[in-house]
Amino acid sequence: MNSKQKNAERLERKQQKLDAAPVSARYPDVTSIVIAMDYYRRGSSPPFMQRIINFLPGSAAYFLMECMEDKCTHGGFNLESIIYTMVKNRQESTNGELVCSGSDSSCRRRIAYKIAIQYN
């Protein structure tokens, strides 16, 4: 993927995030969502990046985390269905792993995530 395509993809995702409803509209009983992620390259090497994202009621309810591989096409880690299920069941925490959904088979990036949700 060339840089022009990657930039176009980033702009599209940025617009999707801007268009996303706030957390308070999607999940009115939620006061905060905290997502902690460890990003891994191939294999089980130590994480190359750790990231914590806090979502408050006014935050965009956009839970597609970008893949950090420059050559990855349409990749990322979609946590939307996990968060939806957690809220539906009023679950306060969960953890797991996701593999990048991108179309570049050489990517093989993955994340280990922990999600914590607080309710009214």
Average pLDDT, the chain: 88
pLDDT at position 29 is 98
54-98 confidence digits (pLDDT tens): 999 999 999 999 888 777 777 889 999 999 999 999 999 999 999
Cα separation, 73 vs 107, in Å, equals 9
In this prediction the pTM is: 0.84
Structural contact between residues 25 and 38, judged by C-beta atoms closer than 8 angstroms: no
Q: Which domain holds residue 73?
A: 3-119
Listed residue (6, 114, 11) closest to 68, CA to CA: 6
In which residue are the tokens 């925490």 written? 93
pLDDT of residue 42: 74
Whether 14 has a pLDDT exceeding 60, the answer reads: yes
What pLDDT does 44 receive?
67
CA distance 76 to 112: 13
Q: Between vectors from CA 14 to CA 119 and to CA 100, what angle results, nearest 5°?
A: 75
Residue 55 in 3-state DSSP? strand
What local confidence, expressed as pLDDT, does residue 6 receive? Answer: 67
Determine the Cα–Cα distance for residues 110 and 117; give it in Å rounded to an integer: 22
pLDDT of residue 2: 60
The domain total for the chain is 1
